[in-house]
Amino acid sequence: MEGITLQRQTGGDMIEMVREIAELVRQRVELEKEIRTLTSQGRLSAVVIALLVPVSLGILSIFPGYTDVLFETTIGNLILISAGVLEVIGALIVSRLIRIEV
């Protein structure tokens, strides 16, 4: 808005200024599309990481005897806690990697 006011006060070419603003907006939209395309693999990785634990638990629940050691022993509990912490850390890292500010 300041540019329009300044152009009107100084008698500048308003049409050219509006064209330049429109071109800048077009370029920004194109850049955002390109960034979205380039980060699509990272976003898919984030979804896979997020679904890994529930899917694994679902598969392992089919064979309940295999998971008893994880839930009934101290070392099993430590492994589960470690896996959960690493899952969260992985999701945060992927989230930071795919976040690009324009």
Q: What pLDDT score was predicted for residue 84?
A: 87
SS3 content of the chain, % helix, strand, coil (to 5): 90, 0, 10
Question: Residue 7 CB: number of other CB atoms within 10 A?
Answer: 16
Is pLDDT above 90 for 2? no
Q: What pLDDT score was predicted for residue 47?
A: 83
Q: 28 or 35: which carries more pLDDT confidence?
A: 28
Confidence of residue 7 (pLDDT cuts 50, 70, 90): low
Q: What pLDDT score was predicted for residue 46?
A: 78
Confidence of residue 37 (pLDDT cuts 50, 70, 90): confident
